[in-house]
A and B are shown apart, each in its own frame.
Chain A
Amino acid sequence: MIEVVDLHKHFKDLHVLKGISTTVTRGEVVAIMGPSGGGKSTFLRCMNRLEEPTSGKIIVEGVDITSPYVDINKVRTEIGMVFQLFNLFPHLSVIDNIKLAPVNVRKISAKEATDRGMALLEKVGLVHKANAFPDQLSGGQQQRVAIARALAMQPQIMFFDEPTSALDPEMIGEVLDVMRTLAGEGMTMVVVSHEMGFIREAADRILMLADGFLIEEGAPREIFSHPKHTRTQEFLGKIL
């Protein structure tokens, strides 16, 4: 579904991504792990071109998004993204946040968008907050609204950039529950996270990124119990 070929990313002199190649197949849940500064978020953001790759190719559903002629907005409608800092629109209510993109990009009617939005809010357990504003919600609630907002576009793939890293421990659970449900329904997900429990249960494959290299790749069972690379062993030793 997504194919990444020899992806390089420079931030001025800093060589952040050094030749990453991998694929993501439909229905797969891929977790990206690794030490800080390893390029995990950068890699995820390159895949929907929130960061411009310096070189390399990224092919999403057959569309080469690194080509200068691609309509990136069309591609982005198929990729939903959830951010570490939620990034909800503060001047709109929860339901308006969710409706904004479907009405203006997918061009569906307001009524249909509202119905879809309320169904999604029910899914994440926040129907009673439909008319609240983001600053009236807790972090966990905001993140769940953010997930509903991304799902409202009915994307084929969902990206999660450290979705629980800014949350209190009590609220992490509610967000992970939603993500687990999504994974169970067969959504293709790419998740950058440090939540070992979630990754162990829900991920089909783990990508270990360190210093810009993809140092190891494999199923959670293998990686956690028999890490091959020394860097992986170091990293897991510190957090497990």
Chain B
Amino acid sequence: MTNLTRSAQYRPISTVRYGRGETPWYRRNAFLLGALAVVVIFGVLLPEPGSAARWTKVLLGAFALCTVAWAALFLSDVKKPEWSKTVVAFALLGLGLFLFWRYADAEWERLGHVFFNWQLMSEPLQGGYTGWTVLRDGLWLTVQLAVLSMFFSTLVGLLLAVFRSFNNPVLNLFIIMYIDFFRSMPIIVLMMLIYYALPFTGLRLSPLASGVLALTLNSAAYVSEIFRAGILSVKHGQIEASRALGLNAMQTMRMVILPQAFRVVLPPLASNYVASAKDTAICSTITLLELLKSAMQIQAFHANPTALVAATVIYVLLLVPLTRLAGVLETRMKSRRSTAR
């Protein structure tokens, strides 16, 4: 027993480095409230925008610094409740945006007139269309392209991954050639080849079919790698148990491996779908009037980029729910115990 106490150098825990557990003076509520009051007074005294005084920028910088310092103190405090920290964080963001809006020399009205001119969008174009209806038709085409290519690429990708799991060298050779080729070929080139060059071999596809085919061929290469990773992630013992029960390779794949691989593949698959949906814009090169091309046409007609802003918003509104849906599905799968420990 004596050996233990003698070999350990006995040293008191340094209070200088670790603190005594009391609240330091800069985290005390009194100090924080006082500092906040100073910051607020400072803010009230801020000059009008556009004032020529040299000290405007200095004052602004100092104010911003004080605010950020105060926020940093507050947000790094472990004892403050989470909801208050969320409020402070958003308030800080709001303040930053407000300062930018007030003091940046932007011509906000003019900006709105150029980029956010919704009224212009509702004006009639030729043939009884308005900007919004043209976008709507373009959106419908984009949706068709995206949904069809997602569906077929998932199917083909899954088949390729399953075939690869057979470990047949000849089959693997062809599959790897496919994957390497279509991952390296730019989609725009592929699309043009299918639409403009393929007819020379007697195979003439409609623009929509060409677009879907090109998108599918490209996406399937990525999807098959995703599924292959998912399949490999299933523990080998699962396959052994399944085969030992007498289930054949197809049954094992269908009933044991794929259900477990599904949860693993969902996040990368969702990213792949989002990328795929954005790639539909490339179809504009083969005469398809999808969302982006429609927006560009309206822009050309009005010489005003509001249509592009609208198209961006539509893309975001469409794709964010898709990614959130994937996230929700993933959480639901987690609670259903889909993988072996």
Q: Which residues of A contact B (CB under 8 A)?
A: 48, 50, 73-74, 76-77, 79-81, 83, 85, 87-91, 100-101, 104-105, 133-135, 146, 149-150, 153
Contact = CB atoms under 8 A, between A and B. Distances in A.
Interface in B255-294: 255-256, 259-260
30 contacts: A48-B244, A50-B240, A50-B243, A50-B244, A73-B246, A76-B245, A76-B246, A77-B245, A80-B244, A83-B241, A83-B244, A87-B237, A87-B340, A88-B241, A88-B340, A89-B238, A89-B340, A90-B260, A90-B340, A90-B341, A91-B259, A91-B260, A100-B247, A100-B255, A101-B246, A101-B247, A105-B246, A150-B244, A150-B245, A153-B246
B237 A134 contact: no
Interface of A is mostly: mixed
Contact of A135 (B235, B246, B247, B337): B337
Nearest to B255: A100
Contacts of B245: 76-77, 80-81, 100-101, 105, 149-150, 153
Interface in B196-249: 235, 237-238, 240-248
B175 to A, nearest CB: 24
Given A50-B240, A83-B240, A104-B255, A91 B338 contact: yes
B341 A135 contact: yes
Contacts of B237: 83, 85, 87
Nearest to B263: A91
B336 interface: yes
A80 B260 CA distance: 23
Contacts of B241: 81, 83, 87-89, 146
Given A87-B237, A153-B246, 19 more contacts: A73-B246, A76-B243, A76-B244, A77-B245, A77-B246, A80-B245, A81-B244, A83-B237, A83-B240, A87-B240, A88-B241, A89-B340, A90-B337, A90-B341, A91-B339, A104-B251, A104-B255, A105-B247, A134-B337
A100 B259 CA distance: 14
Nearest to A152: B245
A146 B238 CA distance: 12
A55 B67 CA distance: 78
A88 B260 CA distance: 12
Per CB-CB distance, the 6 closest pairs between chain A and chain B, nearest first, are A87-B241, A77-B246, A101-B245, A81-B244, A87-B237, A105-B246
Contacts of B341: 90, 135
Most buried by B among A74, A79, A85, A90: A90
Interface string B306-341: 000000000000000000000000000000111111
Contacts, number: 76
Contacts of A77: 245-246
Nearest to A84: B237
Contacts of A104: 247, 251, 255
A101 B341 CA distance: 22
Nearest to A133: B337
Contacts of B260: 89-91
Contacts of B255: 100, 104
A78 B268 CA distance: 41
Contacts of B259: 91
Most buried by B among A73, A87, A133: A87
A126 to B, nearest CB: 18
Contacts of B336: 91
Interface string B98-140: 0000000000000000000000000000000000000000000
A89 B246 CA distance: 15
Contacts of A100: 245, 247, 255
B58 to A, nearest CB: 62
A135 B246 CA distance: 24
Contacts of A50: 240, 243-244
A88 B237 CA distance: 9
A81 B244 CA distance: 6
Contacts of A90: 260, 337-341
A153 B340 CA distance: 23
A100 B248 CA distance: 12
A100 B246 CA distance: 11
Contacts of A149: 245
A87 to B, nearest CB: 4
B42 to A, nearest CB: 57
Contacts of B243: 50, 73, 76
Contacts of B247: 73, 100-101, 104-105
B115 to A, nearest CB: 50
A87 B234 CA distance: 11
Nearest to A72: B243
Nearest to A85: B237
A80 B246 CA distance: 9
A44 B111 CA distance: 77
Contacts of A76: 243-246
Contacts of B339: 90-91
Contacts of B242: 89
Most buried by B among A50, A91, A149: A91
Contacts of A88: 241, 340
A77 B248 CA distance: 11
A79 B244 contact: yes
